[in-house]
Amino acid sequence: MNHSLKPALGLCALCLALAAPMARAEGDPAPTIERERAMQRYKGCQFTDEMGQFLYQCVKKNDGFGTHWCYDETLETYCPAQAAARKAAESAAEQKPSN
């Protein structure tokens, strides 16, 4: 190999290695504070079979596109109900008289 090409190839390899982590697929949601807040809001939510079916139907309806939106919609639909049920169970346990 020509000695004058080695530094240029090394520089190209270095640029590609540094740029690779920054590359995202087109349509991939940008990492924002709003997405992080949503994940923290629903962190105690248990994923159920019913949620899985809802997510599957959404992805199927959209021909495999927008899966992150389908996931977000699933959390917004099912997790508040789970949280309300959990709070109701906790308050019922607190109201029981102790012997």
Which tens digits make up the pLDDT trace of 42-69? 888 889 999 999 999 999 999 988 888 8
For residue 48, the model assigns a pLDDT of 92
**CB-based burial, 19-51: b 16+ in 10 Å, e otherwise:** eeeeeeeeeeeeeeeeeeeeeeebeebeeeeeb
Distance of alpha carbon 6 from alpha carbon 4, whole angstroms: 6
pTM of the shown model: 0.53
pLDDT more than 90, % of the chain: 17
Residue 33, classed as helix, strand or coil, is helix
